[in-house]
Copies of this chain bind each other. A is one copy, B any other.
C-alpha cells in the first residue's frame, strides 16, 4: 500500500431519518467525497424504507444490524432521548460515531455516554455544524491566526425565522439547551477560551404559550471567558426578516465578523430608497455548506486517525453553560461554571 492508494469510501449508517437525518443521509450519499451511505434505520419503518429507496441503500431492520454490520461509522440523528444508549452501543461496537446535538440534556447521562466513548477510543464528532460555516469559520481563523489580536468582546446573534411548536418546546430542554447551545459552542469556538461565568435575562415575547412550558423565547446572555473576554449572545425564536445568524469577535488588533447572506444578490433603487431581499428563511438553506463541510471534516479525521474538530469536550461544555444560564435566569444572578460542574 502506498501513499497514492485511493482510500475506500467510509461506509456510514444513519440512525434516524427525520428531517435532519434524511438530510445527512442524502449528503453522505451524494455530496461528500470519501463517504458512502451504507444503510439507514428509523424506528418508524416506513420512513427508513422511503429514504432507503430514494437513496438506493438497504433499510436496516434494527439498530443491531447497523452496529453489528461492517459499516465504518454511524450517524446518530434520532430523537435526543435515544442518543446516550446509541452512543453506548457505538462504543461497544467500536464504530466511529457522529452524533447530532445534544448528547443528553442531563449532565450525568451525558458524562456516562462520553466516558464510554472515550474508554472505547472511538472517533466521536458532535453535530455543531455552524463551526463549519465558511463565514463563521473565517472568524475563528482570524482569532486563532492572531490577525485580530487577543479577543476582548464577542457578539453573537441567533434568531430563528419562526418559533417551533409548543409540543416541540416541551421536550426541547428549553431555549438555552435547545437553541442557544449552538451559540455557547460558537463562543468557545471563535475565542478558543472556556467560559467561567454566565448571566442570563430572558422573557416570553413571541409566543405566549411557551410560558406554559416554563420556557422563554427571547434572551440575552453575558458570558465571561477564562482570560476575561466578554461575550453577548442574543436569541429570538422569531425574526420577521428571516434566519439571522451573526458572529463577531473584537480583539486588541481588530475585528472579525460573519454577516448574514441575503436571499440573492439583487437590489432595486428608486426614489423610495434601496430594497434588498430578506434573509434566507430556512436553516437548511442557510447552513447547507456547513453540513457538507462538517462531513468532510469527519471523514478526514477518521481516515487520518486524528480527533474530530468538535469532539467530546465540545459536546459537554455547552450543556454546562446552558445549565448555568438556566440557573442564572431562575436566580437572577451571575452563575459561575463550577457551580454547575460541582453538581
- Inter-subunit contact B271/A274 (CB<8 Å): no
> Which residue from B147, B255, B265 sits with its C-beta under 8 Å from A135?
B265
Stretch touching chain B among A101-109, A176-184, A232-240: A232-240
> Which residue from B133, B148, B203, B261 sits with its C-beta under 8 Å from A268?
B148
- Inter-subunit contact A252/B152 (CB<8 Å): no
> Which residue from B134, B244, B253 sits with its C-beta under 8 Å from A266?
B134
> Which residue from B133, B201, B224, B259 sits with its C-beta under 8 Å from A224?
B201
- Inter-subunit contact A268/B254 (CB<8 Å): yes
Instruction: Please give the count of copies of this chain that the complex contains.
Output: 4
Q: Does A40 have its Cβ within 8 Å of any Cβ on chain B?
A: no
- Inter-subunit contact B239/A277 (CB<8 Å): no
Q: Could you tell me the distance in whole angstroms from the C-beta of A248 to the nearest C-beta in chain B?
A: 8
Task: Give a binary string over A214-250; 1 marks a CB under 8 Å from any B CB, 0 the rest.
Answer: 0000111010100010111010101111101000001
Q: Could you tell me the distance in whole angstroms from the C-beta of A298 to the nearest C-beta in chain B?
A: 21
> Which residue from B236, B263, B275 sits with its C-beta under 8 Å from A250?
B236
Q: Could you tell me the distance in whole angstroms from the C-beta of A327 to the nearest C-beta in chain B?
A: 14
A137–B267 CA distance with the chains assembled, in angstroms: 11
Residues of B contacting A333 in the complex (Cβ-Cβ under 8 angstroms) = 333-334
Q: Does A205 have its Cβ within 8 Å of any Cβ on chain B?
A: yes
> Which residue from B136, B220, B253 sits with its C-beta under 8 Å from A222?
B220
What are 17 of the A-B contact pairs (CB < 8 Å)? A134-B265, A135-B264, A152-B236, A153-B220, A159-B250, A199-B199, A206-B252, A220-B230, A222-B232, A232-B232, A256-B268, A257-B269, A258-B265, A269-B279, A274-B277, A275-B275, A333-B333
